[in-house]
Structure 1
Amino acid sequence: MRPRPLSVLSVLAFRHLSGLATHFESHWDDLRPKHTWNSVPENWQNMGHPPADTTIDLHIALKAKNENALIDALIEVSSPGHPKHGEHLSREEVAELVAPPSDVLELANAWLEHHGVHPSTISTKHGGSWLTLTAIPVSRANELLSASYQLYQHIGTNDTVLRTLSYALPVALVEYVQCVAPTTHFGFPRVPRQEPPMRRGGATMEQTKVLGGDPGTVLSSRDRYMTPSFLRTFYKTSSYVPLAAGWNMLGVAGYLGDWPSPDDLRQFMNRYRFDATDATYRVVQIKSGGYDPSNPAIEPNVNIQYTSVIAFPTTNIFYSTGASGTLGDPFINWLDYVLGQWNVPQTVSTSYGKPEHTVSPDYATHVCNLFAQLGVRGASVLFATGNDGVGRGDCLVRDSSGNSRVQFLPTFPSSCPWVTSVGGTTGYNPEVAASLSGGGFSVYFPRPSYQNNAVPTFLLNLGGQYNGLFNPGGRGVPDIALQAMDYPIFFKNKHGRLSGTSASTPTAAGIISLLNDYRISNGKAPLGFLNFLLYGRCLEGLNDITSGSNPGCNTDGFSAVPGWDPVTGLGSLDFERLVAILSRW
């Protein structure tokens, strides 16, 4: 029988009737596991228990009273032809959509009170769907979640986090909690550029040693093809002049102590776009994100330089989001901040992610639904698919029994159906798939309705190739792809070159931001969640990519073919054709 939450009156009755006190105590001790790892995740090592006075911030996500309401609303406002298309929701309207049943919220608070969590440490956000517990002693967190929080260090980076291999919740509450974080999700550690466990979407950049032993770029004379002027001409944005730069916002999400350099941006613009040498960006620091422009990282530099050079003078915001040790999860921290604002950026570029199987399904679902909240509020959210083709290395994945098998490795959050995932291309006349382009099929998320007319054709033509290595019923990745090879950038005052989908993603975001500018300057709503448009009315505004492949997992990977494919998606963007399509409605 499905457990029913105690009503408020029931809770009060338990508190005041001494004869039922023992029963009430046992009610909270009846636990069910929420998520468990069978062993320490790959590349992490146990460093033992933390000091006795260690505290942790916990984020508890409660399920909505109507679990379909958010996605139904997203589909309505994102589908051309629907009466509500473009009628994006406010912060308050979304909070009402995702609010949990009131008695579940009361039950959760009673559970916390039972375990001695003081009300002053609890904050309720987003219609009651989020409970944030601040500076909870680890001993209390262990008792609350039947957990064993310990310190874990990442091999190769020495980053240390406080996590548990399992946690559980009371039976009467477990079905109403989406996830608790940080628990079994080991986060996204700061990574060495050579072998990133969290793939910064990502930048692969030629490096050498410079004075002081810091990584520097290999200077190159190969200024061919992917200069900003070529990209603006190739994707047909060079003649467009933004008219809504004061209202249109383009956000770049950064994490893990990574931030850009304004000096590098200035040198980049002086070299590649002399009419935009005063380009700048605003920095928003979230959860101890920090900002030291004298010590930049490659990833945010390429994101800021290419969103700026494509979309100038659009307002550009860089979000520096921290999350390490006891400070929680980077995506949840960023989403908590952005969803709490009155206005969200109309376009967001993110080039961070990791293999989908390394996060729990409950966590992935929760974070994906938070991105859906951004979409229903009018944001176009773009994620890089990574640079490993169908997967890095031998792609051995342990199942729940501890056995290993080969499986193609899609990247999360680009595998979330409520974001637009961006792969990579190379060359021109014709443009072909870049071999590094991440792509494949989600294991966690089923195929969304907008892909029902595109993905089955590819699968039919694929036949039985790779049977058992991927989930044919899963959400297909990517949705689009843009140039990903030989991007010139400035890094620490040096000129170099990099390749990766963390270059194609900000370029795509810059183009989408210009499309949002066109909409806003004509008195229309921003595009919001893109995929119903891309797979529908805007399909004719894309350049189909029909050759190339994305090898990985010791296979040749998938091939780019006419129509959608899990290498280049629907193809690359043609700005002028897309404007012509948008002008008709």
Structure 2
Amino acid sequence: MRVGLKHNDNAAQNAHSWLMDVSHPGSVKFGKHWTQDDVLEAFRPTKETTDTVAEWLSSIIDKSRLKLTDNKAWYAFDATVAEAEALLHTEFYHVEQDERSLVHCNEYHLPKHVQQHIDYITPGVKGTMMNVESRGSKVKRGFGKPGKGKPWGGQPPKWHPTPKMPHNNTELATCDVAITPACLRALYHFDAPDPHGKVSKSNSMGIFEEGDFYAQQDLNSFFTNFTRYIPNGTHPILDSVDGGLAPVANLSDAGGESNLDFELAFPIVYPQTITLYQVDDLYYAEGGNGTTGGIFNTFLDAIDGSYCTYSAYGETGNDPVLDPTYPDPNGYMGPLQCGVYKPTNVISISYGEQEQDLPACYQKRQCNEFLKLGLMGTSIFVASGDTGVGGLRGDGSPNGCLRNGTVFSPTQPNSCPYLTNVGATKVYPGKTVYDPESAANDLAGAPYRSAYSSGGGFSNIFTTPDYQQAAVNMYFREHNPPYPYYYNGQYNNSVGLYNRNGRGIPDVAANGDNIAVYVAGRFGLSGGTSASSPIFAALINRIVEERLKIGKGPLGFINPTLYSHPYILQDIKNGSNPGCGMNGFDAVSGWDPVTGLGTPNYPKMLKLWLSLP
């Protein structure tokens, strides 16, 4: 059994302010990021909580059997059914689910003086999986639809061959056909890195992958054709999480998501390194045993050991139904990895789901973890999604939208206010890298792919954060969208289509269409906000490198700086993100829920962040 303790009221009330103190450029504490010990001390339950709960537990369970975790977040102990029932004044049952036994109760009762100190008990009304047994043969690795960690669109980015490959690696005349590293340099005004430059060993760029795997042969082909300054054989540093392995041995098994991420990031950051967080063994990464709902928990466990035992919003540790259980008889037989890797200064994530796919408490607990990572100096970038204001087909409705397929469906984890969401732009046919970009929007029936548009909208779970409020207010005041709306996420009780006071998505944007890639030995084009996130994150990683050279530190959570200095971005004023049978929102002057504040202007970004403490 595990009893999750409520974190102290001081942390609950002040965590947002603590993050703003170290993140806002106007703060005297800007850049003074916390250590992990600082975070543990600030968020741990009070002594009153731990003592009160221990006294109550010891009325049934001998104190010698109680274990309080190092971060004081929960008590763990073994109990007989009779002891558990006496402790909680309930009756436990077990049911078979997916060849596992789910132990649960319909309700449980706590003494009044204890209730204020306890967040969650397991097994309880949600249950705990017991007696895990072998569940069949391993799933073969392939290019199929991944399981619980889904690249945007529910599958790897759409790849297709291109009728024309650029004649050389510096050609800019065909950027409306294929986006190469040279096109990105022209769009965002930065130079190719010095391949012989001295770089910090502590500034590797992090990239998250799950159920999708890169091929070294494809990276080599890309380097040979587009970035001769990067030697063949260059590859990411593997931080394997719970059995995650890469690269693939067979070229035909290469993954479109992984190849896209590395073929975009390496040309921007090399000779800086890239750290690959390859998460979960193949059985779970491809949806084994029905674990297709949860996402990011085992990754967050691995980069912050306290997350394994952190209690918040009714969730403690990994969810017994949504998340993998290790050791896994079908794959990784080691224990769940907790705190085995240090988070990099910058992490890019091109995976996600819809808000409606996961319990709000699950998402809120993860959001708290993103806040903690920001406190410790890590910048998190997440692709905003590829279905505009809608969701994935069949995800709750035929078009993936809410309330009979009409209400706009926000994306997850994008709704969390403590990470940076990246939408997608495009160089349209006939345009050049010297023309303003437009929001990425490919209509259904376009060659080689289904409809795709840059994900954006407003959260139904999280309210508009203070750092974003002025920009959102201006958007509504000057560009009010023509749709009815609702407040506080209550769409079922209204005719509204979006949440008027929700966290706005995205924050920024970068190119995300017709990206030149090699996949499975073939040259072609790819896209999605999956491309936009590593582009923006890689540029921030370069800026962190320049700050380190002059004795300054990482940037951590960058949104307060972005929203207070929007001039460092190139405003996108054209395009929309249709979904749910609607046109979606329009890209307009200033912030909008299509391309955020705009695309990078590297010289302006660099100048500003080098001037800050």
Same fold (TM over 0.5): yes
Of the candidates 461, 472, 485, which is equivalent to residue 455 of structure 1?
472
- Aligned mates of 1:492, 1:113 — CA distance in 2: 60
CA contact (8 A) 1:245 1:313 kept: no
- Aligned mates of 1:59, 1:491 — CA distance in 2: 47
Aligned position for 1:470: 498
1:546 aligns with 2:573: yes
CA contact (8 A) 1:390 1:557 kept: yes
Of the candidates 60, 69, 80, which is equivalent to residue 124 of structure 1?
69
Matched residue SS, 2:499? coil
Aligned position for 2:382: 383
Aligned position for 2:263: 305
State the 1:107 CA deviation: 5.7
- Aligned mates of 2:56, 2:142 — CA distance in 1: 38
The letter for the 2-side match of 1:452 is: Q
- Aligned mates of 2:574, 2:560 — CA distance in 1: 25
Q: How many residues align?
A: 503
1:481 aligns with 2:498: no
State the 1:370 CA deviation: 0.3
Aligned position for 1:78: 23
1:339 aligns with 2:304: yes
The letter for the 1-side match of 2:462 is: F
Aligned position for 2:186: 233
CA contact (8 A) 1:122 1:133 kept: yes
- Aligned mates of 1:354, 1:161 — CA distance in 2: 26
Gaps of 5+ in 2: 129-138, 167-173, 306-338, 428-432, 442-452, 486-495
Aligned position for 2:236: 281
The letter for the 2-side match of 1:237 is: F
Distance 1:540 1:571, change over 3 A: same
Aligned position for 1:221: 164
State the 1:281 CA deviation: 1.2
Structure 1, 223-232 or 566-575: larger mean CA deviation: 223-232
CA contact (8 A) 2:180 2:516 kept: yes
Matched residue SS, 2:498? coil
CA deviation vs aligned residue, 1:484-507 (integer Å, no higher than 9, x gap): 001122222222221101111111
Matched residue SS, 2:455? coil
- Aligned mates of 1:63, 1:374 — CA distance in 2: 17
Aligned position for 1:350: 349
State the 1:314 CA deviation: 1.4
Of the candidates 578, 581, 584, which is equivalent to residue 608 of structure 2?
581
User: 1:436-447 to 2 correspondence within 5 Å?
Assistant: 436-447=453-464
State the 1:253 CA deviation: 1.3
Matched residue SS, 2:473? helix
The letter for the 2-side match of 1:75 is: M
Matched residue SS, 2:219? helix
Aligned position for 1:151: 97
- Aligned mates of 1:192, 1:563 — CA distance in 2: 39
User: 1:205-216 to 2 correspondence within 5 Å?
Assistant: 205-206=157-158
Of the candidates 438, 445, 449, which is equivalent to residue 432 of structure 1?
438
State the 1:133 CA deviation: 8.5
- Aligned mates of 1:81, 1:101 — CA distance in 2: 32
Distance 1:286 1:175, change over 3 A: farther
Gaps of 5+ in 1: 1-56, 153-159, 208-216
State the 1:526 CA deviation: 1.1
State the 1:521 CA deviation: 1.2
1:524 aligns with 2:575: no
Distance 1:584 1:120, change over 3 A: same
Distance 1:102 1:237, change over 3 A: same
State the 1:68 CA deviation: 2.4
State the 1:81 CA deviation: 2.1
CA contact (8 A) 2:143 2:254 kept: no
Aligned position for 2:371: 372
User: Which has a greater percent of strand?
Assistant: 1
Q: Percent identity?
A: 28
Distance 1:448 1:310, change over 3 A: same
CA deviation vs aligned residue, 1:180-204 (integer Å, no higher than 9, x gap): 7999799xx9998579886413566
CA contact (8 A) 2:571 2:598 kept: yes
Matched residue SS, 2:260? helix
User: 1:169-208 to 2 correspondence within 5 Å?
Assistant: 170-171=109-110, 176=117, 199-201=150-152, 205-206=157-158
Distance 1:413 1:583, change over 3 A: same
CA contact (8 A) 2:222 2:518 kept: yes
TM-score (norm 2): 0.72
CA contact (8 A) 2:156 2:256 kept: no
- Aligned mates of 1:497, 1:164 — CA distance in 2: 49
Aligned position for 1:421: 421
CA contact (8 A) 1:332 1:367 kept: yes
Matched residue SS, 1:276? coil
CA deviation vs aligned residue, 1:473-492 (integer Å, no higher than 9, x gap): 01000000110001122222
Matched residue SS, 2:611? coil
- Aligned mates of 1:181, 1:307 — CA distance in 2: 42
CA contact (8 A) 2:189 2:603 kept: yes
- Aligned mates of 1:516, 1:117 — CA distance in 2: 51
Of the candidates 507, 515, 526, which is equivalent to residue 498 of structure 1?
526
CA contact (8 A) 2:207 2:349 kept: yes
CA contact (8 A) 2:380 2:419 kept: yes
- Aligned mates of 1:123, 1:474 — CA distance in 2: 37
CA contact (8 A) 2:382 2:414 kept: yes
CA deviation vs aligned residue, 1:73-119 (integer Å, no higher than 9, x gap): 11100011211110000010001111012343456667888898998
CA contact (8 A) 1:259 1:300 kept: yes
Distance 1:333 1:240, change over 3 A: same
CA contact (8 A) 2:65 2:77 kept: no
Structure 1, 339-348 or 163-172: larger mean CA deviation: 163-172
State the 1:343 CA deviation: 4.3
- Aligned mates of 1:101, 1:520 — CA distance in 2: 37
The letter for the 1-side match of 2:256 is: I
1:100 aligns with 2:55: no
Of the candidates 190, 193, 201, which is equivalent to residue 246 of structure 1?
201
Matched residue SS, 1:417? coil
Aligned position for 1:534: 562
- Aligned mates of 1:562, 1:149 — CA distance in 2: 56
State the 1:176 CA deviation: 4.9
Matched residue SS, 2:470? coil
- Aligned mates of 2:550, 2:504 — CA distance in 1: 33
State the 1:129 CA deviation: 2.9
Distance 1:292 1:192, change over 3 A: closer
- Aligned mates of 1:488, 1:163 — CA distance in 2: 47
- Aligned mates of 1:334, 1:227 — CA distance in 2: 31
Distance 1:120 1:544, change over 3 A: farther
Matched residue SS, 2:221? helix
CA contact (8 A) 1:251 1:345 kept: yes
The letter for the 2-side match of 1:315 is: T
User: 1:107-118 to 2 correspondence within 5 Å?
Assistant: none
State the 1:582 CA deviation: 2.3
Matched residue SS, 2:380? strand
CA deviation vs aligned residue, 1:150-188 (integer Å, no higher than 9, x gap): 535xxxxxxx998899976644566555567999799xx
